[in-house]
Amino acid sequence: MALDTGQSAHDRVPSSFERSESRQFSQLRQFRKLFSRVRVTPMVVFWTLILFILVIPILLFLTVAFSPRLLGQGPQWFTLSSFTPVFSGAYGKALFNSLMLGIFAGVGATAIALSMAWLVLRTNTPARFLWNSTIFALFLAPSYLIALGWQRLFEQRGVLEIMGLQVEPIRNLLYGPVGICLVLMVKGTPFAYLVIANAMRGLGEEFEQAVRVHGGSRFEAFKVMANLLTPSLFSAMAIVFAEAISDFGVANTLSNVAHFPVATYQLYQGINSIPVNFPVSAATSFALLSLVVIAILAQNRALRGRSFRTLSGRTRPATMTKLSLFGKISTSTYIIGLLVIMLGIPVFGAVSASMLEGLGSLLSNYSINFSNYSRVIHSRFLLNPLIYSTEMSLIAATIAVSLAAIASKVLTATKPSKAKRFVDFFLLAAVALPGIVFAIGYIFTYNLKFINEIGLHLYGTSFLLAIAYSANALPSTSRSLVGNMGQIQESMMDAARVHGSNGARAWIDVTMPLIARPLLIAWLLTFSGTLLELPVSELLYPPGSPPVAVGIEISLAGFDYGGGTAIEILSILWALFVVAVAFFLFNRFAPPGWKRLGNLR
């Protein structure tokens, strides 16, 4: 699929390469002269990488929407005509659908997350202990796997119909905006929960007590609490909105089957048409990106000038509400119900489908066994792709977390600087950048004539895939580390420097241990996310080396539903195994001081 654009990596190597060799040599000499005075420090390396893997590819791609001629994609130096199709016809409809899905998923996920944060952190409901592992599992599972779980259960001749159940009414609901919104809401809930739960943890009981002792009712106290949580509710909605309209996994599975077009799938179709219309793809990407940035900026603006800092050294932890027996039963039922919908059904769908021999075929005899597993163990879509994806994920997670640690340090510097504003803006914009846009940006940039002329023949290589994975994960990884990095008092680094350590040593001795656990968690989330990542894999994998997500897609596209879901289950088990080993090693070998800090509770 990846290279069905009518051009292969090798076709795009300019034939004039040899002829321009001497010219390149002279250019290289000029570059060398120019940069001979630049000292290579870690920060110089950081900024160079940020420019080349994040800023330049995306800016070049987005620029082509306004100036096709500048990048050899049309006759006009400046035009807005690329935007005309974006707001009409199929593109316009897809964009509107994405917008609506984003809004509903944002509001829904925030409401669920708020209720769960309150139940888990402020009550003694017995089922609260099930929640944290569910959250982590949902972080690990890409949206397309959740969607596929539902699909396998409810599709025609799916698992439930084979079991003799009539599920057509539910299928009609699932294969439409309601089902798509449901999956996006499920995928967005962990993000919303983390934001709201962090805010609720910092909200001590003194605010509630202050209302009550000054004559306020229980309801008044609740209103004050809700007001204090406002920033986190806005943030949660903005994040889920951004995740939902950027999503490609559901777009490529459920919404595709349901014939409910969304913007990311429209983009994917655009890039697979011949010839590729890059200006229109860029304009669509620009529109999509603008929606997310507007949402996040609106959130920032709505909160500007209002201080909601509630966490201080004097904050007293809130006491838990003790529920009655009826309260315990009803809240536990609610939590378990949610768990079933969010995780239980997709997992049951995937596991049962993987054990049904003949699923997806026109056979009338189905049997439950492990034949799909024994078959795919030796499949060319599992073992080698899984090894390849594991290698890529190791590299991408390591690069992304290393760069994210530096980026989050720049972002949390107490002194305002241009560097801080620059990183802040680009990471904010890039968090909102859908993976599919990112991948198309890479295809576009690394196929540009002048890029090939300077000797960078990267398209269709594992190298490009690895840096695309890294760059794609960098913004969200950086954002996830900012909170932990911001808690480190600068004086601790100063103390290390003053007492004899150079900058690098101080970083290793002080900063690294202080954020060891958040770094490990960020690394594992990036690793797992990359292992099963779809849009970048789909569009940038080197010929003959499909990552495992592409292996699953190819199997499913060939109606091997049993085999595809078996690969899916084995890949998830592999990711969980790596996570378990990493935590075991950390708990076994990390110094005691490291383990105490940065605990995610």
Question: Taking the complex as a whole, how short is the minimal distance between the CB of residue 516 and another protein, in angstroms?
Answer: 8
In whole angstroms, how far apart are CA 379 and each of 281, 464, 551, 554?
A: 35, 26, 9, 12
**What string marks each residue from 128 to 167 as x (binds another protein by CB under 8 A) or -?**
----------------------------------------
Report how far residue 392's alpha carbon sits from residue 385's, in angstroms, rounded to the nearest whole number: 10
Question: Taking the complex as a whole, how short is the minimal distance between the CB of residue 513 and another protein, in angstroms?
Answer: 4
Which of 540, 541, 528 has its CA nearest to residue 582? Answer: 528
Q: Pick the binder of another protein from 115, 209, 501, 545 (CB under 8 A).
A: 501
Which of 424, 397, 399, 456 has its CA nearest to residue 60? Answer: 456
Question: Could you say which residues in the range 237-256 bind another protein, by CB under 8 A?
Answer: none
If you ran DSSP here, which 8-state letter would residue 87 be given?
A: G
Report how far residue 294's alpha carbon sits from residue 22's, in angstroms, rounded to the nearest whole number: 47
> For another protein, which is the closer residue by CB, 348 or 586?
586
Question: Taking the complex as a whole, how short is the minimal distance between the CB of residue 505 and another protein, in angstroms?
Answer: 8
Report how far residue 197's alpha carbon sits from residue 187's, in angstroms, rounded to the nearest whole number: 17
Q: Is residue 121 a contact residue for another protein (CB under 8 A)?
A: no
Neighbours of 343 (CB within 10 A): 20
> For another protein, which is the closer residue by CB, 336 or 492?
492
The amino acid sitting at 350 is: A
**What string marks each residue from 540 to 579 as x (binds another protein by CB under 8 A) or -?**
----------------------------------------
Question: Could you say which residues in the range 516-535 bind another protein, by CB under 8 A?
Answer: 516
Helices (H), 487-540: 490-498, 503-506, 512-514, 516-531, 535-540
Report how far residue 87's alpha carbon sits from residue 93's, in angstroms, rounded to the nearest whole number: 8
* Residues in binding contact with another protein, number by CB under 8 A: 24
Report how far residue 535's alpha carbon sits from residue 142's, in angstroms, rounded to the nearest whole number: 11
Question: Taking the complex as a whole, how short is the minimal distance between the CB of residue 493 and another protein, in angstroms?
Answer: 9
Question: Taking the complex as a whole, how short is the minimal distance between the CB of residue 415 and another protein, in angstroms?
Answer: 8
> For another protein, which is the closer residue by CB, 283 or 496?
496
Q: Which stretch binds another protein (CB under 8 A): 75-83, 296-304, 531-539, 587-595?
A: 587-595
Q: 3-class SS at 356? A: strand
Q: Pick the binder of another protein from 39, 591, 599, 601 (CB under 8 A).
A: 591
Per the CB < 8 A criterion, the answer to whether 54 and 434 are in contact is no
Question: Taking the complex as a whole, how short is the minimal distance between the CB of residue 482 and another protein, in angstroms?
Answer: 19
Per the CB < 8 A criterion, the answer to whether 147 and 253 are in contact is yes
Question: Taking the complex as a whole, how short is the minimal distance between the CB of residue 539 and another protein, in angstroms?
Answer: 42
Question: Taking the complex as a whole, how short is the minimal distance between the CB of residue 503 and another protein, in angstroms?
Answer: 8
> For another protein, which is the closer residue by CB, 120 or 510?
510
> For another protein, which is the closer residue by CB, 486 or 503?
503
Report how far residue 589's alpha carbon sits from residue 575's, in angstroms, rounded to the nearest whole number: 21
Question: Taking the complex as a whole, how short is the minimal distance between the CB of residue 121 and another protein, in angstroms?
Answer: 22
Question: Could you say which residues in the range 460-499 bind another protein, by CB under 8 A?
Answer: 489, 491-492, 494-499
Cβ-based burial of 432 (10 A; exposed 0-12, middle 13-18, buried ≥19): buried
> For another protein, which is the closer residue by CB, 412 or 545?
412
Question: Taking the complex as a whole, how short is the minimal distance between the CB of residue 586 and another protein, in angstroms?
Answer: 13
Angle (nearest 5°) at CA 278 between 475 and 59: 35
Report how far residue 582's alpha carbon sits from residue 524's, in angstroms, rounded to the nearest whole number: 8
CA 305 from centroid of its chain's CA atoms: 30
Report how far residue 113's alpha carbon sits from residue 203's, in angstroms, rounded to the nearest whole number: 16
Q: Is residue 596 a contact residue for another protein (CB under 8 A)?
A: yes
Question: Taking the complex as a whole, how short is the minimal distance between the CB of residue 507 and another protein, in angstroms?
Answer: 13
> For another protein, which is the closer residue by CB, 186 or 515?
515
> For another protein, which is the closer residue by CB, 62 or 510?
510
Per the CB < 8 A criterion, the answer to whether 533 and 471 are in contact is no
> For another protein, which is the closer residue by CB, 218 or 316?
316
Q: Is residue 514 a contact residue for another protein (CB under 8 A)?
A: yes
DSSP run (H or E) holding 91? helix 89-122
If you ran DSSP here, which 8-state letter would residue 507 be given?
A: I
Question: Taking the complex as a whole, how short is the minimal distance between the CB of residue 425 and another protein, in angstroms?
Answer: 21
Report how far residue 287's alpha carbon sits from residue 278's, in angstroms, rounded to the nearest whole number: 14
Q: Which stretch binds another protein (CB under 8 A): 216-224, 383-391, 532-540, 590-598?
A: 590-598
Per the CB < 8 A criterion, the answer to whether 185 and 105 are in contact is yes
Question: Could you say which residues in the range 337-376 bind another protein, by CB under 8 A?
Answer: none
Which of 145, 84, 155 has its CA nearest to residue 343? Answer: 145
Q: Pick the binder of another protein from 166, 365, 502, 599 (CB under 8 A).
A: 502
Question: Taking the complex as a whole, how short is the minimal distance between the CB of residue 500 and another protein, in angstroms?
Answer: 3
Task: Output the six-digit token pair for 44.
Answer: 């110089």
> For another protein, which is the closer residue by CB, 214 or 601?
601
The contact set with another protein (CB under 8 A) reads: 489, 491-492, 494-503, 505, 509-510, 513-514, 516, 591, 593-594, 596-597
